Structure 1
Amino acid sequence: MGEVVRWGVLATGGIAATFTEDLRGLPGAEVVAVGSRTEASAEAFARRFGIPRAHGSWAALAADEDVDVVYVATPHSAHREAAALCLEAGKHVLCEKAFTLNAREAGELVKLARDRGLFLMEAMWTYCNPLVRRMTELVRDGAIGDVRVIQADFGLAGPFGPGHRLRDPALGGGALLDLGVYPVSFAHLLLGEPDRVRADALLSEEGVDLNTAILLGWEEAGASALLNCSIVADTPLTASVTGTKGRIDFPRGFFYPERFVLHREGREPEEFTMGPAGQAGQAVPADAPDTAGGPLRGLQFEQAEVTRALRAGETESPLVPLDGSLAVMRTLDAIRDRVGVRYPADDAG
């Protein structure tokens, strides 16, 4: 890997634009190419962001010899196809969440990456956030005792009409894969894969989940998680972790927090905030990225982690391990099974 990690962006939608804008401010990284299904879309995106090369197909981007790593920004229904194409062409991959439509597809990507010795990571930016990392350190150090209850939600009011991708089963529509992946991943981060999965959902006429309530259980830990996701209700977007000796509260926007509050028995509440260099206040993780040029923003924490891993010759990130992404996908599959949501891709294996 050279001094500068050279990125290709696959797809040209809103998240691709946000990713590219943030990456332009990250030292040691550069977007050198963009790929889309059409020349016109790729060229318009390249002009907008000053990207040197525009490819009118995913295959052409994957074949670009000047690209080190590809960011897959398609809807999750195309993640397996797009990521596999890039891995087969010898490219490292950062793939948006939800990782794939189901655990089978995720397993195929992980096997392909491991067989080829290539880097692959799910773009779970929450895991790379220094405040979330600090929270996990506090929990693992026993700051709140043994975890007993996790609560988290992510809901948007919409409205999302019948023609929207979130209502289309073929595109992996519904609240769970777009929004529910955040609270489910938050619970996994602290307790791992659950032993018990229960769920209830309101389904659309198309058969996707509009509002889903989830109860996860961990037998050995004696813990449970109460989670919710919705595309018909603007929920608080908060999270909390309660243990036998205290509690940690995240305000609105828990999936990319700017602060959290630690409550402990016999002490005043302690607030942890993002510091001036994009780091968490009160003892940041020792390996949090050094920005030098100013605070990191948006998606740059996950971008910095990919850059670090590639320079170190790693094929997996310790912050977003592939086995963890596979476990999350198994839980999402189990939730869909409980509420009766199936996608056409489920029957293609």
Structure 2
Amino acid sequence: MTFLPNPRELPTAPSLRWGLLGPGGIAASFVDAAHRHSQQRFVNVASGSSPERATAFAQAHGVTRSSDTYEQVLADPEVDAVYIATTHDSHARLALLAIAAGKHVMVEKPLTTTRADAQKVVDAARAAGVFAMEAMWTRYLPQSDVLRQLLERGDIGEVRLVTADFGFPSQYDPASRLWAPGQAGGALLDAGVYPVSFVSSVLGAPSAVHTVGTLAPTGVDEQASVTLAYEKAQGVAFTSLRTASPTRASVIGTQGRIDIDGPFLAPSGIGVTMGAGFPASAQTAHWSGALGPQGSAALSYEADAMARYIGDGLTESPIHTMDEVVSVVGILEEARQQLGAV
């Protein structure tokens, strides 16, 4: 039976001074995780709706100060890097502003809502020589490094199928960002980016995309199954705003399979099943991800990863390149078009 590796040890990340654009729920989780579990420090925050909201956020989450506008945060000489945590529809505009200001930038997923906008952000960052990264925290969790090592070793043989799902029930509200086309609502952009990105992390860019699903009354996609085609493999990603799915992921090969415990997108464990006659004569092993920050506290991993890469002189993540990010955004865009989503 194969033995399961442990996550590789990483050097201590240098401390960056961060600015925050968009003091919402995910921003609160990210800032708290960074402050409690890393040396990253947030020194400035601004809200697009009101200075008072930014001030209240700074006081509640230990941010050094607040500003009246996004532009003031970007002009702050004490800000090394910017975390953009606004709604999807503003990601591209704010990322380009941050890059133009010479700031390293992390943008919440999805990077943008269209492939063309994603490419604009990537081109601008490369031209400016600043670091740019999509905040796909799953890539930096311990179990993701265990998975990478297993695939690098070829333990399960040739990969033939990768599956992942993420669905959750959301109360239908046409004014909510999840259901509003004007705020880039829909299941694919909000939740579907996770399973599609997981498939991409194993198989890369597909040769074709095939999508089935349903639309909400507002015209956004409320549920979708996306099949990604490769020369010898397939990827299947499911997402929904109507139902809770197991939130698991599997990589199935010619000699065995790897199963990521649910929820696969947060800290979890990994099971490996080996044997030509599995499951009847299967041998199994399991690695537990119980150590380290759990739940949203594990957002600290991606904060430290970005700081580490910047300290090494890189301009993008080597395990989640910007070319791959553009590809995933393109998959999501094509899937929405195939459904006729607004």
- Asked if Structure 1 and Structure 2 have the same fold, meaning a TM-score greater than 0.5 normalized by the shorter chain, the answer is yes
Which residue in the other structure is 1:345 paired with? none
SS of 1:226's equivalent?
strand
CA distance in 1, matches of 2:43, 2:298: 20
Q: Contact 1:34 / 1:54 at 8 angstroms: preserved in 2?
A: yes
Which residue in the other structure is 1:327 paired with? 327
Offset at residue 140 of structure 1 (A) = 2.7
Whether 2:88 is the aligned partner of 1:76: answer yes
CA displacement 1:273-323 (0-9 Å, x = unmatched) = 2264569xxxxxxxxxxxxxxx99420110110110111121111122111
CA distance in 2, matches of 1:249, 1:235: 15
CA displacement 1:304-343 (0-9 Å, x = unmatched) = 101101111211111221111011111112111211124x
Offset at residue 136 of structure 1 (A) = 2.0
SS of 2:111's equivalent?
coil
SS of 1:310's equivalent?
helix
CA distance in 2, matches of 1:245, 1:302: 32
Q: Which residue of 249, 268, 274 maps to 2:289?
A: 274
Q: Contact 2:99 / 2:130 at 8 angstroms: preserved in 1?
A: yes
Q: Contact 2:15 / 2:39 at 8 angstroms: preserved in 1?
A: yes
CA distance in 2, matches of 1:180, 1:250: 17
Whether 2:264 is the aligned partner of 1:254: answer yes
Offset at residue 268 of structure 1 (A) = 2.6
Offset at residue 135 of structure 1 (A) = 0.7
CA distance in 1, matches of 2:338, 2:71: 37
Whether 2:237 is the aligned partner of 1:227: answer yes
CA distance in 2, matches of 1:3, 1:241: 34
Q: Contact 2:268 / 2:290 at 8 angstroms: preserved in 1?
A: no
- Report the AA paired with residue 67 of structure 1: V
- How does the TM-score come out when normalised to structure 1? 0.89
Offset at residue 259 of structure 1 (A) = 0.4
Whether 2:226 is the aligned partner of 1:214: answer yes
CA distance in 1, matches of 2:296, 2:146: 16
Which residue in the other structure is 1:107 paired with? 119
Divergent runs of 4+, >6 A: none
CA displacement 1:57-115 (0-9 Å, x = unmatched) = 11111111100000000011110111111111111000000110111110110011000
Q: Contact 1:94 / 1:120 at 8 angstroms: preserved in 2?
A: yes
CA distance in 2, matches of 1:41, 1:149: 46
User: Kindly tell me: are residues 296 and 333 of structure 1, through their superposed partners in 2, closer, same or farther at Cα, counting changes over 3 Å?
Assistant: closer
Bigger shift: residues 22-31 or 302-311: 22-31
CA displacement 1:201-250 (0-9 Å, x = unmatched) = 1101211001111111102xx10112210001111111111110001112
User: Kindly tell me: are residues 340 and 3 of structure 1, through their superposed partners in 2, closer, same or farther at Cα, counting changes over 3 Å?
Assistant: closer
Bigger shift: residues 139-148 or 96-105: 139-148
Which residue in the other structure is 1:19 paired with? 30
Which residue in the other structure is 1:160 paired with? 172
CA distance in 2, matches of 1:114, 1:168: 33
Gaps of 5+ in 1: 280-294, 343-349
CA distance in 2, matches of 1:62, 1:332: 30
Offset at residue 26 of structure 1 (A) = 3.5
CA distance in 2, matches of 1:175, 1:296: 21
- Report the AA paired with residue 25 of structure 2: G
CA distance in 2, matches of 1:178, 1:115: 29
Q: How many residues align?
A: 324
Q: Contact 1:132 / 1:257 at 8 angstroms: preserved in 2?
A: no
Which residue in the other structure is 1:29 paired with? 40
CA displacement 1:130-185 (0-9 Å, x = unmatched) = 21121122123211111111111111111231221111111110000000000100
- Equivalence map 1:192-203=2 (5 Å): 192-203=204-215
CA distance in 2, matches of 1:76, 1:301: 22
